[in-house]
Amino acid sequence: MNKMSAVNTIGILTSGGDAPGMNAAIRAVVRTALGNELKVRGIRRGYSGLLNEDIIDMTARDVSDTIQRGGTILQTARCQEMCTEEGQQRAAAICKKYEIDGLIVIGGDGSFKGARALSNLGVNTIGIPGTIDLDIACTEYTIGFDTAVNTAMEAIDKVRDTSTSHERCSIIEVMGRDAGYLALWCGIANGAERILMPEEHDYNEEAIVADIQECRKRGKKNYIIINAEGIGDSMNMAKRIEEATGMETRATVLGHMQRGGSPTCKDRVYASIMGALAVDLLEQGKTNRVVGYKHGEYVDFDIDEALGMQKGIPAYQYEIAKELAL
């Protein structure tokens, strides 16, 4: 395990897509660090802000009345320059210029790759998993997933109401990039007839058409398909299914509404604990680590180990979802 000298100033940034609960993590980092007599510097707009030296000193007041707010008070951005060796070296030099001894990065796998690069260049780094996609292999929880899945679930309930009234087939597309966790959880929670995920390779439109026709014979008033954005093409899929079945079919793409909104209790609490733990890890002399949640405990992993892990959809959960759709 990599060790470092004592920290005096901690930098914090949010990178990549925003996620509800990031503010709770920021608040916890700031207040834990200040309580331990450390300085905190907030870096606006992720790695892009770091490279542009958009860096501010943070006080306890800066994070007051933020825990209930969605998004990130530090703003976020994607930064291609941070993928280059030149950009990484410049970022490390800027950290040293602002006397940032430890850097806490809230984001996903891409953000952790940047943290790893900075660690290799002598900047002590800790990652916190923040993404609504739940696609970080080293952890069972990521900041924002709980809020996003509840937002999607409530929206799908509303679509089901009108779908039943009109006896429609509804295709609802949820986010998740190349991961199907949002789709799987919504499929189970909303009682969907079909769940389409990039991890599963049994997507068969003809089988869906046959199932819709069979369900109509049994008197079902609607047919709900949860479609992960990794599959996509919901609008064209709706047209094809309507043509094949004669059942009115509508597509709804929930989109970025899933990233917004006030975070749930779970996202506030888990994010707060992860933020405090990240500060503790830096003070313990740890670096190049990522915080995670496994088997009911908050843990930390080497970033290289974490990035090398693989994560798949639990087969049993998917089988249950299909059984309950009968």
Given a cut of 70, whether residue 3 has pLDDT beyond it is no
Q: CA quadruple 180, 21, 90, 114: dihedral positive or negative?
A: negative
* Averaged confidence pLDDT in the chain: 95
Full-model pTM:
0.94
Average pLDDT over residues 262-268: 98
Q: How many CB atoms lie within 10 A of CB 143?
A: 33
Distance CA 145, CA 180 (A): 12
Strand partners, 106: 14, 128
Roughly how many angstroms between the first and final C-alpha of the chain, as a whole number? 50
Looking at residue 322, its pLDDT comes to 87
Q: How many Å apart are CA 154 and CA 143, to the nearest integer?
A: 19
Mean pLDDT of 175-201: 93
Cβ-based burial of 149 (10 A; exposed 0-12, middle 13-18, buried ≥19): buried
Letter for the amino acid at 167? E
Catalytic residues: 133
Sorted by where each starts, the structural domains of the chain and their CATH numbers stand as 9-144+263-308 (3.40.50.450), 147-259 (3.40.50.460)
The percentage of residues in the chain with a pLDDT greater than 90, rounded to a whole number, is 90
C-alpha distances in angstroms, 140 versus 160, 184, 312?
29, 15, 11
- Mean pLDDT of the 210-233 span: 94
Q: What is the pLDDT of residue 286?
A: 94
pLDDT for the residue numbered 49: 97
- Higher-pLDDT residue of 6 and 19 is 19
pLDDT 10s digits, 57-108: 999 999 999 999 999 999 999 999 999 999 999 999 999 999 999 999 999 9
pLDDT of residue 1: 44
Give me the mean pLDDT over the 200-216 stretch: 89
Q: What is the per-residue pLDDT across 45-58, written as a single tens digit (0 to 9) for each?
A: 999 999 999 999 99
pLDDT at residue 203, as a whole number: 80
- Give the residue-averaged pLDDT of 262-267: 98
Confidence class of residue 201 from pLDDT cuts 50, 70 and 90?
low
Please give the Cα distance from 241 to 205 (Å, whole number): 8
- Report the pLDDT averaged over residues 263-284: 98
pLDDT score at 274? 98
The confidence band for 5, taking pLDDT boundaries of 50, 70 and 90, is low
pLDDT score, position 74: 98
For residue 271, pLDDT beyond 60: yes
